[in-house]
Every structure is written in C-alpha cells, then in structure tokens.
Structure 1
Amino acid sequence: MDSRFFVPDLCRVRALFMLLVTSELVVLALAMVQAQHDWIDWEYFGLLSLFVQWTLLTSVAMICPLRPRLAQLPVASATFVIVVLVLADVFAFSLFADRVLNPGPGAPQWHSIAKKMLLAMLTTLIVLRYFYLQHQWQQQQEAELQAHLSSLQSRIQPHFLFNSMNTIASLIASDPQRAEDAVLDLSELFRASLRTSEQLIPLHRELELCQRYLDIEALRMGDRLQLQWHIADGLQNQAIPPLTLQPLVENAIYHGIQPRAQGGIVRVEAQASGDFVYLLVQNPKPEPGQSGHDGNRMALDNIQARIQALFGDRAVLKHSHQGDIYTVTLRLPAQQVDRQGAQRHT
C-alpha cells in the first residue's frame, strides 16, 4: 500500500480493532448521556452499538479495496469520496433500522435519519482530520530520522586517511599496481561514507567494505595484522546500517593492534540465533600505558544512536573484556534486504 496516503490501511486487523474500540467508547458516552435514571441506558446502548458497528464494518469494507485508487486523488477529493461512501452507507442502514423498529405503513422518520447522517458526516470528518494530522506527523518524523541518520553517518571519517595516503605514496614507485588498488579501496571507503541516503544494506556489502579497509591496513602493518573470519551461511542479505561493522573493525586495529609491537588477531564473527543476528569483533586489549578506548567509545556511541533510531530496543550494542580480549557485540533483528537495501521480510 502507498504510505504517502493519509488514510491508514483499514484492512489491517490493528487499524480495524482501534476503530471498533473507539466507536464503542463513543457509543458508551452517548448512552450515559441518554440515561435518565441509571448510569447507562442499556437498551439505547445496544441498539446504537449494533447500528454503529454495522455501518462501520460495511464502510470499511467499501473503503479498504478502494484505497489504492483513493491514494491517487488529491486529499480534498479523497476526503469527499470517503464521506460520500460513509453517508450512503449510513442512509441505507438508517432506512433499514427505521423499517425494523417502526414496522407498518408510514413515511420514514426523515428527521431522525438526517440527524444520523449529520452526526456520521461530522464524525467521519473528525476521524479523517486525525488521520491526516497523524500522517503529517509521521512524515515529519521520518524526515527528521533520515536527517539524523545522515548526520550521524557523515561524521564517520576514517582516521587512517593520512597513514593510508603515506602508504600509497611509498608504493607508487616500488609497486604501482598495489598503489592503484589501494587508491580504489580508499575511494570506495569514502564513497560509502558519503552515501547517506541508504538506511539499510546487505551484510555482504558491509563485509566487502571491511575487506577493502583491511587490505589498506595490511599494506601498512604487514604480518602484525592477522585476521579470523567466521561468517555463518545464509547471512549475506542480513540488513545492517551502512558503516556499522567497518568502524568497529577500524577501532579494533587502531586501539588493539597498532599500539602493540607484536600486533595481534582481529576476529570478526556473524551468526544467527532465533530472531536475531549477532556480530562480534574481537581484538587484544591495549597493553598498560598504551592507547585506551576513548575513540572506541565515540564510535560505539555513534553506532548505538543509529541502530536505536532504526530498530529501537530490538538492537543492542555492548562491549566486554574477558582476559586479554576486548569484544564488541552487535545484536540486530533478523531481516533480509535486497541489493538496493529494500526490506524483503522480517
């Protein structure tokens, strides 16, 4: 369904349930006002509730299949069509109710029918106005979220730029092919940091970006940098925000490998468990007196803000120490995206 249309999908159980509950609360309030001696006029409540529920359900049954066509109309035209459908439905049921409650010859009670139609029109307009304002608010929230995510993502600037440029410069004369490959890897990394329109990408694209980064660092660190990859099968299209895993790998090298004269191992692991996918990045802890994890804390805060904005409480980012190993764990909801980042299923 078209998310740009202000009327929600009334075919969904949740939307229909909310309409039914709201209408029953209105009927209950009217029955309390109608009561003369007791708190509630139960006879009036029963009759009005039956009338409102039948008209509501039949109106929804007419509007729901027409939603794709209504979405193509201007707001005023779509509102007019919906109001006409509801009034026609109320008019038909009012005539039917009048014949049931007042059998025999005689003209219908047009005054009572007119009041029902007027009340139905006012109620429909109020509900549609609420839908419109709610839709406008959701559109604003989505725009603010996109701006917030773009702002967070644009702040991710790999701090290995100058080291990489120096490495590339030293390779130009001795190994021009490797220098060219490094330039291509570096350009792809910065192209990813500027591609702020994507909210979710397949995991395999993020892993490819990590590999490009690691290829550049391997030129500078040589045998000091060792890698272990453990990626479970079937996770190639797992949805992940862009530049989420790469900064974690970058910090693992910057804080865990670079300060150590002997280097160390960076381990990257991805596995599924239940409704979630877990990504782990492990590296040695810095030796005493060497670089700590202040910069790592900044990267974690940035990624935490992004996954919370996209997934809410279902996504978790945490870090831990076990012996000499520092581990960052990222938990994401298990869902798939295509190559363009469109969600396929959850």
Structure 2
Amino acid sequence: MQQIAPSPRHRLDLIPNFCEARPVLSLAFIMALVAAVLTLANGASGELALQRWLLITLYLQWIGFCAAATLCWARRWLRYARPGVVFFVCWGLLVVIVTLISDIAYRLSAYMHWDFAAIGESRLIFILRHAVIAAIVALMLLRYFWVRHQWTMQVRAEGEARYQALNARIRPHFLFNSLNSLAALIQVRPDEAEMMVEDLSDLFRASLQKGLQIAQLLEEIGLCHAYLRIEKLRLGDKLVVEWDIPEEVLEWPVPKLILQPVIENAIHHGISRLAGRGTIRIAAREIFGRLVIEVSNPMPPQNEPMVHGNRVATDNIAQRLKLIYGGGARLELGRDLRLEGGVFRARLVLPRISMPEPVPV
C-alpha cells in the first residue's frame, strides 16, 4: 500500500532547489549585483573600478556556484532530516565553502599580484574576516528561508484543510444523486445494483484519501468510467459517451475527482432532461503546454423548465483549482448555440504540476 507523504519534500523547501537552473541563475545575478555594490562602496573609479568589480564578481561567483553545487549534492542526504538539522548543516556548509575559497583567493591574488586583499592584511585575518561575514550573511539568509518555510507550511496546511472541507462538501451532493439511482435498481435488477455499489465504493475510496491528491489522467478516467457505469445502469441507452483522449496525455498529472463532477453535471443538467438519447463527448488535448479537457453535452429543449442548480460542483471545482494551481488553472463554462439544439461545454485548462513522490508504509 502507498500513500502520499509530503513531509520530506516540504522539509527541503527550507532552501531553494539549486539542482535546477533558475535558482542558480538567480544566485549568479545577485552575486553580480553585490559585487557592484561593494565596488561602488570602495570608492574606486575608472579602469581600477572595473578591474576590482571583475575580481569581486569572480570571487563571489565561485562562492555562489560552489555553494549551489554543494547544496544540490546535500539534498539527497537531507531529504529526511528535520528542518533544524537542514538549517545548521546548510549554514555550516556555506561557512566552510567561503573559508576554503577565501584561502584560495588570497593565495591566487598574492601570486598574480592582484589588488584584492586589504593592504598589509595577513592571510589568516583575510580568511577569518570573510568567514565571519559569511557566517553572519548565511545566518540571516537561512533565517529568512526558515520564516518563509514556516509561512509556506502554514499556508499549505490551511489549503489542505480547505481542500478536505471541499471534498466533504461535494461527497453528500454526489451521494444523493447516486443513491437515487441505486434505489431505482435494487428491486428490479439486484445484480446490477450490486455492481453499482462496488463502483460507488471505488469513487468514495478516492474521495476519502487525504491531502492534495494528484494522479495521472488515466487514473482519473478510470474513476469516471466507474461513475458512468452507475449512470448507465440508471439511464440505459439514453446515455451515450464518446471519448477522445490521445495516449500522449494519459500520464498528465491532474487533481483527483476533478473531471467526474463535470461529467456528473453534464448528465444531471443535460442528458437526464432529454426526451431521447444524448451524447456526452469528453476530449483532451495538450495546447501550449497546458492540458485542455472539454466535456460537452446537448442542451435540453427550450420548453423544458430551466434548472439552475446550486452550483455546488462547479464552485467546488473552481476553488480546488485555485488551491492547487493558484491562478494558473481555470474552469470555463458556456453554451454553443451554433449547433442544432445547442451544446453546453465545460472546459478545464490545467498547467503541468509535478507528481508527489509516493512513500511506502
């Protein structure tokens, strides 16, 4: 059995992931700016200022890249360490790196006759001065990362609590519709009613799992098939489902139970109100680095009474998308009256999100 255990990954959120290019480039840019500030503070001008800026930049860049490489290497060993251990290990590594590089820089500047160290400053004083500066700066920087980490964990905990509350809110809504179908079958077709209970249990097992659950689109489609089997027993030949899902998007990470409520709305507000057969079409495409899932259903005749519903499912989906993606994902709803009878479309636009690491228990 496996479950999502985010704690180790969240512990590593204490420091940026320097195994990726973007944090390393940001660090290099910051080091260049710091070198410019130190050069201006020194009061040098002209060619001498340029030479000093280049020397300081080279020195700081070496510190930055060596620190980034060391912290990247250390991530695998700090994966399951406590945040306090991560804090002090990273602080110690940074101080040691600056100490070693300052020693190398002093020796090299003396050999090349560069004007890098202060006039008359001994090697020991130069190394100690830079080590103390590194200890203070690293402590302040890691303290900032610590506060940011605590704030992120608090926001994540609040988000997971809200996510679970949203799941708890949608379950009674779905259960009410499913039990009505089950009640209609249990007397006349008990075998099919038993299969319906099994599918219903699969759906509720998925909805009861804790955490911000992310799964592959293929798994989400499997849950939708379980739900559609339930509705197929109730509606019979009245319900027709067309799938248009290419294989290349089946492994796309999506939130669990994000597609099933959209299909449920299409059946409840569309197919069930038709006099004859109705077709639900479910299509997915990757467009400009985003997964676009579209669910369309025929609109009921105009003489049918309008049923607005309480928007539990759509509001729930919109809130869950905001919790997981921020403003990067959206749910679009609209009518297309160009086709005969009209078609209602629900479109999910989802950016790619990393899959959480499964941890065996």
Partners of 1:186 and 1:31 in 2: how far apart? 69
Instruction: Find out whether 1:329 has 2:337 as its counterpart.
Output: no
Partners of 2:65 and 2:354 in 1: how far apart? 35
CA contact (8 A) 1:200 1:242 kept: yes
Structure 1 residues 7 and 286: CA distance shift in structure 2, 3 A: same
Within a 5 Å distance, the mapping from 1:32-111 to structure 2 comes to: 32-35=40-43, 41-69=49-77, 74=85, 75-101=87-113, 108=122, 110-111=124-125
Classify the secondary structure of the residue corresponding to 1:181. Answer: helix
CA contact (8 A) 1:167 1:220 kept: yes
2:169 corresponds in structure 1 to 155
Partners of 1:61 and 1:342 in 2: how far apart? 23
1:186 corresponds in structure 2 to 200
Classify the secondary structure of the residue corresponding to 1:22. Answer: helix
Partners of 2:266 and 2:318 in 1: how far apart? 17
CA contact (8 A) 2:99 2:127 kept: no
1:69 is matched by which residue type in structure 2?
W
1:71 Cα deviation from its structure 2 partner: 5.2
Q: Which moved more, 1:215-224 or 1:29-38?
A: 29-38
Partners of 2:71 and 2:184 in 1: how far apart? 69
Q: Deviations over 1:42-97 (max 9, x none)?
A: 45434433333334334444554344335566233442343233223223322432
1:226 is matched by which residue type in structure 2?
V
CA contact (8 A) 1:278 1:330 kept: yes
- Structure 1 vs Structure 2 CA RMSD: 3.4
1:191 is matched by which residue type in structure 2?
R
1:328 Cα deviation from its structure 2 partner: 1.0
Classify the secondary structure of the residue corresponding to 1:159. Answer: helix
Instruction: Find out whether 1:290 has 2:308 as its counterpart.
Output: no
Long gaps (5+) in structure 2: 1-7
Of residues 14, 21, 26, the one that matches 1:18 is: 26
Identity rate, percent: 33
Partners of 2:34 and 2:291 in 1: how far apart? 45
1:322 Cα deviation from its structure 2 partner: 1.5
1:86 is matched by which residue type in structure 2?
V
Q: Deviations over 1:292-311 (max 9, x none)?
A: 3443x442232123223333
Instruction: Find out whether 1:8 has 2:10 as its counterpart.
Output: no
CA contact (8 A) 2:95 2:131 kept: no
4+ long deviations beyond 6 Å: none
1:237 corresponds in structure 2 to 251
Long gaps (5+) in structure 1: none
Partners of 2:232 and 2:80 in 1: how far apart? 55
1:316 corresponds in structure 2 to 330
Q: Which moved more, 1:321-330 or 1:109-118?
A: 109-118
Q: Which moved more, 1:73-82 or 1:25-34?
A: 73-82
1:169 Cα deviation from its structure 2 partner: 4.0
1:257 Cα deviation from its structure 2 partner: 2.3
1:170 Cα deviation from its structure 2 partner: 4.8
Structure 1 residues 178 and 291: CA distance shift in structure 2, 3 A: same
Normalising by structure 2, report the TM-score: 0.77
1:206 corresponds in structure 2 to 220
Structure 1 residues 293 and 174: CA distance shift in structure 2, 3 A: closer
